[in-house]
Amino acid sequence: MFEYIKGKVTYIAPAYLVLESNGVGYLLYMANPYRYTDKMGEEATIYVYHDIRQDAMLLYGFRNYQEKQLFLKLVRVSGIGPKSAMAILANEDHSGLVQAIENDDVAFLMKFPGVGKKTAGQLVLDLKGKLGDLELPGGDARPAAALSADEETNKELSEAVEALLALGYSKKEAAKVKKHLETMDASTTDAYLREGLRLLTKR
């Protein structure tokens, strides 16, 4: 129904953002809404998927066409719903995801929330050899500085932890990576969240 929406980012929460277009505020569930922190109050183009259910109509947002196509392939796999697919997309190393599927790396796939051994095997079975046309970028290679976090970054750190929980990671998993994140010298929620996701899914 919708391919993309162009509008102004007016609100960001751990699991979604609001994009205002022509006087209408669209609530878009995002893998990492904090990627758009620098777009607050500015115009952005976000690709969308309209999920129609018996009890709800939801919009999921994506940075670009390729990310949306990967989402569509993921939700076609038995056992992968939109929430699990968004949790998988939250880790920006999509090329690593493709590599894991191509190499039958079930252990890596099981690190994502909601993905057990059976579902990981189904991901390999259904998608192996079918993701090469997406031209997916690799992860963010920028190193994180290992310095003490100060009080000004506590809000951003807390938001990042909330975002991890919203994606489906357990409190235990979030608490484990939080200890490492507290040593970072990061100024944005996005930076904390990216590093947290990297730690939770690293090989």
**How many CA atoms lie within 13 Å of 151's alpha carbon, on the beta-carbon side?**
0
Mean of the per-residue pLDDT values of the chain: 87
Tell me whether the CATH fold assigned to 4-62 matches the one assigned to 151-201.
no
- DSSP for residue 1: -
Pick the CATH number of 73-127 from 3.90.1150.10, 1.10.760.10, 3.40.50.300, 1.10.150.20: 1.10.150.20
Strands 4-12 and 43-52 turn out to be: antiparallel
- Label each residue of 48-78 as H, E or C: EEEEECCCCEEEEEECCHHHHHHHHHHHCCC
Per-residue pLDDT of 55-84, as tens digits, reads 889 999 999 999 999 999 999 999 999 999
Report domain 4-62's class: mainly beta
Question: Tens-of-pLDDT digits for all 203 residues of the chain?
Answer: 789 999 999 999 999 999 999 999 999 999 999 999 999 999 999 999 999 888 889 999 999 999 999 999 999 999 999 999 999 999 877 888 889 999 999 999 999 998 999 999 999 999 999 887 665 544 433 333 333 334 344 789 999 999 999 999 999 899 989 988 998 888 899 999 999 999 998 86
Report domain 151-201's class: mainly alpha
Per-residue pLDDT of 124-148, as tens digits, reads 999 999 887 665 544 433 333 333 3
Distance between CA atoms of residues 130 and 133, nearest Å: 7
Residue ranges covered by each domain of the chain:
4-62, 73-127, 151-201
Distance between CA atoms of residues 66 and 41, nearest Å: 25
Q: In the chain, what percentage of residues exceed pLDDT 70?
A: 89
